[in-house]
Chain A
Amino acid sequence: MTYFLLKMSATLCVKLQRNQGWLPLIQSVRHGSKAVTRHKKPVHILKQKLIAVTQYIPPARTVPPGAYPSEEKHVQEDNEFVLLLKKNLEEVFEECKMIAVVQTNACSVDDMLMLRHRLCKHSIKIRFFPNQVMRSFLSNSVYSNMAPLFIGPTVLFVSKEPKVKEMMSALRVSPQMTLLGACIDNTLLSSQGVVSYAKLPSLTVVQGELVSGLTMLTSRTAFMLQRHPAHLSALLQQYIKQQSPDDGAEATPKAEEAS
């Protein structure tokens, strides 16, 4: 269609072209997509890829060493009260063989007093230290595995002698105290461990049992070795006993006959 029009216009325009200033007969009208739009036109995929590949990656700038002030680690110096508490804690750990950790669930004052009284009879003291101080002290010392016990309202039962049975009986009376764990003779025990420790017999009994168990074998061999001579001596004694009543029996009828 446009070719026909071209031809037509070519014949017609030959003369027209000589006249300057005339608009051309065929004007191709550009329609379709525009380059400049009001909305953001989606970028063609190839152009997208090109941009992605050729994107500028700036070099990583290292901060020169003296530029920023160095971040100091938050080492808060302990105030004096905390230092005093830590000293007390050290003394407690050195002196006392038994340290039990008990969770108290908001005990009333009366119950606490009764408990203190009961435990004082067995020289068990109740001591309280703040959890933060406790945890910071424990993390620096050997007893760091006790640290997870100290959450919430906790109280320490300390005593120089490991009097576990009395402690357990006192705890059984007050139901709101929960035994979490104990450190007895530098050994960390759970509550079940404490219960089994309480059921252990005393040291002398255990030593006696050990000694008897060890000597049992040797005593058995000694007995086996001496069995024959012992048997023989027993038989001889029995024989003598039998002989002596016979002599006594013969002597008494002779005496009766005589009298």
Chain B
Amino acid sequence: MAATSKSTVLLKAVKKITIQFCPFESNVRSTREFLALVGSEKVRSTNTNCEVISVVKHDKSEPVIDVTYVDGERLVMKGEWLTCREMLSAFQSRCKDKDPQIKAGAKK
């Protein structure tokens, strides 16, 4: 899994990540893998202000990953049919887009 390149991404661009899933369903594998990657110590240490919240439900609902960025934008990923890599690449691309903007704004 592309976990090593993640360590540079989670800086200051993400405010909160909420991951909700129902572990007894069969379609949660990718969501759980995403949680394992995002919730690891290495990644979370890059931005201690960012909260990673996992909600475990039991109502056969589809797994949803809700990312709230610092500028208020939200990224909602429904992980039922997505692979972990797709979700990761989408998340990383958006983080990269936001990060240079923030850096440029801070410099100015």
Instruction: Tell me whether B35 and A105 are in contact (CB under 8 A).
Output: yes
Instruction: Tell me whether A103 and B58 are in contact (CB under 8 A).
Output: no
Within A155-204, which residues are at the interface with B (CB < 8 Å)? 175-176, 178-181, 190-193
Our pick among A107, A111, A179 for the contact of B56 (Cβ within 8 Å) is: A179
Distance in angstroms from A251 CB to nearest chain B CB is: 80
Interface status of A248 (Cβ within 8 A of chain B): no
Q: Please judge, given known A-B contacts A178-B54, A179-B56, A180-B56, whether A103 and B32 are in contact too, CB under 8 Å.
A: yes
Instruction: Tell me whether B25 and A106 are in contact (CB under 8 A).
Output: no
Instruction: Tell me whether B41 and A106 are in contact (CB under 8 A).
Output: yes
Within A130-163, which residues are at the interface with B (CB < 8 Å)? 145, 148-149, 151-153
Q: Please judge, given known A-B contacts A105-B36, A190-B58, whether A149 and B41 are in contact too, CB under 8 Å.
A: no
Q: Please judge, given known A-B contacts A103-B36, A106-B39, whether A148 and B25 are in contact too, CB under 8 Å.
A: yes
Our pick among B41, B52, B56, B58 for the contact of A108 (Cβ within 8 Å) is: B41
Instruction: Tell me whether B42 and A106 are in contact (CB under 8 A).
Output: yes
Instruction: Tell me whether B23 and A149 are in contact (CB under 8 A).
Output: yes
| Distance between Cα atoms of A152 and B23 in the complex (Å) | 11
Chain B residue nearest to A147 in the complex (CB): B24
Distance in angstroms from A188 CB to nearest chain B CB is: 9
Interface string of B1-39 (1 = CB under 8 A from A): 000000000000000000000011110110011011011
Chain A residue nearest to B45 in the complex (CB): A108
Chain A residue nearest to B33 in the complex (CB): A152
Q: Please judge, given known A-B contacts A105-B40, A176-B44, whether A192 and B58 are in contact too, CB under 8 Å.
A: yes
Chain B residue nearest to A193 in the complex (CB): B58
| Distance between Cα atoms of A151 and B22 in the complex (Å) | 12
24 CB-based A-B contacts, threshold 8 Å: A103-B32, A103-B54, A105-B38, A106-B36, A106-B39, A106-B41, A106-B42, A107-B41, A148-B23, A148-B24, A148-B26, A149-B24, A151-B29, A151-B33, A152-B29, A152-B33, A152-B36, A176-B39, A178-B54, A181-B23, A190-B24, A190-B58, A192-B56, A193-B58
Contacts A105-B38, A106-B42, A191-B56 given; 11 further ones with Cβ under 8 A? A103-B35, A106-B41, A148-B23, A175-B53, A176-B44, A178-B35, A190-B23, A190-B56, A192-B56, A192-B57, A193-B58
